[in-house]
Amino acid sequence: MQKEIFIKVQKWLTEKYDNDTIKAVKNLIRNDEKELFDCFYKNLEFGTGGLRGIMGAGTNRVNKYTIGAATQGLCNYISKTILTNNQLNVAIAYDCRNNSMYFAQITADIFSANGFHVYLFESLRPTPELSFAVREYNCQSGVVITASHNSKEYNGYKVYWNDGAQVTHPHDKNIIEEVNKITDVSQIKFEGNKNDITLLGEKFDKKYLNKITELSLSPKIIKKHSDFKIVYTPIHGTGVKLVPEILKKFGFTNIYNVPEQDVTDGNFPTVISPNPENAEALQLALKKAKEVGAELVLATDPDGDRVGIAVRDLENELILLNGNQTASLLIYYLIKTRKGKNLLKGNEYIVKTIVTSEILFDIASSFNVNYYDTLTGFKYIAEIIRNKEGKELFIGGGEESYGYLAGEFVRDKDAVMASALIAEIAVWAKEQGKSMYELLIDLYVEYGFYKESLINIVRKGKSGADEIKQIMENFRNNAPKEIAGSKVIEIKDFLLQQSENLVTETIEPITLPQSNVIQFYTDDGSKITVRPSGTEPKIKFYISVKETLCCKEKFEERNKELSKKIQKITKSLDV
């Protein structure tokens, strides 16, 4: 074992650490040297959004002490940065994961020990409600204990700033510096002040849900189709109470649950992964929908900020939509309905991320609505909302990874809000004699048939991280001249912050922040993005292709052609 790791391990065997931790480390020493190495070979990185990792003992694991160091560093940064005689406030929420409540209480204790007043949710709540709480209580910061849709062994720590959005520059880097200064557990104030912790419950839920209800644009249509059949599953997570409640507040009366997945359980016993992007996670909901004849399936992830859906296709079979398709329908509905009600004043805008379908921009442009692109991660969408507040009006935004937002009172993706609006879109389409799927095809006829695919390559541990790094270096240093027989005409490198046009042989600067992302554009209209995940041990390949679509009757034929095109690109990239 390397000397540096040996010193770390010995430190975790001292009386500064609790007995359970010492016992766990000793067990690793005796039985699993490889795992011991992985637990201690580095410090769990406090990234630009917080922590995420496997739970367990060690510097490279999520536990009482890594959570404690993160919280103490955050406390120190806020106290240094926000110079005020007023009370400093912070809001804290947590999801359904194993140890989430425990970590949330530790976080609350440390904040209160550092003189903050803490607004702590009394039980698990969706992440977007935390964003709302930060704004409602004029908090300087917020924390959610969650690992989103990661598998059961993970947990995490997500940090928000005073606008209710996840932290961005310069706060992200500065917080990291303060966290890195916590080099010994004796620097962490674990003994909390219970008098400075206020619990939030149903009263605050009502305030949040009432605000979402104000976003409804078609209440009369919902009333007409109130018995529209919807199946909803929280996949064991935080949406279990609030999503059915907001659907009822919108006016829907025929909501079916999935009893096995209404059980709050951080082991996620009914799924391989609690990720609504994965078809497997929706199988029980789809089964229920077939039994009851539902027209819409909604499934939210454990922390309630992302939602996956299924709708009826042209053969009346249930089919899953991807994040790009759902975002397209949402943005089209929000703009189209606003226009029909004379609510477009000329200063509205939408936002998407660079890996999300370009059809969103085509839709916005057709209604003369402004549109903006930004880096992957909803914190960047929220940053644009913050910068344009009072100047332009945010209608909505989305990202391909199943995250959506409307309105400005929440500053993160919101599956509670999105679930209600998606159900509203479904009955709006039904009022026109269409299904959501037919509405989507109409968009393809009008704006072009965009088809996207996401390929994830998982590489765990240090060796995996090194391999992902090498893949990115290969693409950066040996960029392909053609992909699947189509010539590469433009390369955008967000790390170098430059866009190279290979046709005109010119280079333009990219004004977005640095990010380890490369995009290739080909002469047949395809876009390929290569990006290491910021939260999981994987590298992602986003593939987007486009063709014209003359009519609904040609949809299936064109769909197969685009699928073959994506397969050729995948083979060409050797992924």
Task: Give the pLDDT mean for 449-473.
Answer: 91
Q: At what angle do helices 436-447 and 323-340 cross, to 10 degrees?
A: 80
**Pick among 1.10.760.10, 2.60.40.10, 2.30.30.100, 3.40.120.10: CATH of 42-200:** 3.40.120.10
Above 90 in pLDDT, residue 215? yes
What the block records as the tokens of 67 is: 């959570």
> Which pLDDT score is estimated for 50?
86
Residues 297 and 407: beta-carbon distance below 8 Å:
no
Task: Say if residue 170 is preceded by a cis peptide, omega within 30 of 0.
Answer: yes
Above 90 in pLDDT, residue 3? no
Q: Per-residue confidence at 324, pLDDT binned at 50, 70, 90?
A: very high
Would you call 477 exposed, middle or buried from its count of C-beta atoms within 10 A (0-12, 13-18, 19+)? exposed
Q: What is the CATH number of domain 449-573?
A: 3.30.310
CATH topology of domain 208-447: Alpha-D-Glucose-1,6-Bisphosphate; Chain A, domain 3 (3.40.120)
> Which pLDDT score is estimated for 1?
57
Q: Which of 93, 111, 112, 103 is nearest to 196 (CA)?
A: 112
Helices (H) and strands (E) counted in the chain, each on its own, are 19, 23
Task: Give the pLDDT mean for 432-448.
Answer: 98
CA angle 199, 202, 164 (to 5 degrees): 65
Residues 539 and 533: beta-carbon distance below 8 Å:
yes
> Would you name the residues annotated as active-site residues?
148
Q: Per-residue confidence at 149, pLDDT binned at 50, 70, 90?
A: confident
Backbone angles phi, psi at 416, to 5 degrees: -65, -55
Averaged pLDDT score across all residues of the chain:
96
Total Cβ atoms within 10 A of residue 554? 16
pTM: 0.94
> Which pLDDT score is estimated for 49?
77
Q: Which of 170, 138, 147, 145 is nearest to 159 (CA)?
A: 145
Q: Report the C-alpha gap between 159 and 8 in whole angstroms.
A: 27
Backbone angles phi, psi at 557, to 5 degrees: -60, -45
| 519: DSSP letter | E
Q: Per-residue confidence at 574, pLDDT binned at 50, 70, 90?
A: confident
Ranges of each domain in the chain:
42-200, 208-447, 449-573
Q: Report the C-alpha gap between 260 and 297 in whole angstroms.
A: 16
Give residues with Cβ within 8 angstroms of 389, minimum separation 6: 408
Would you call 266 exposed, middle or buried from its count of C-beta atoms within 10 A (0-12, 13-18, 19+)? buried
CA angle 403, 60, 13 (to 5 degrees): 145
Residues 246 and 209: beta-carbon distance below 8 Å:
yes
One fold for 208-447 and 449-573: no
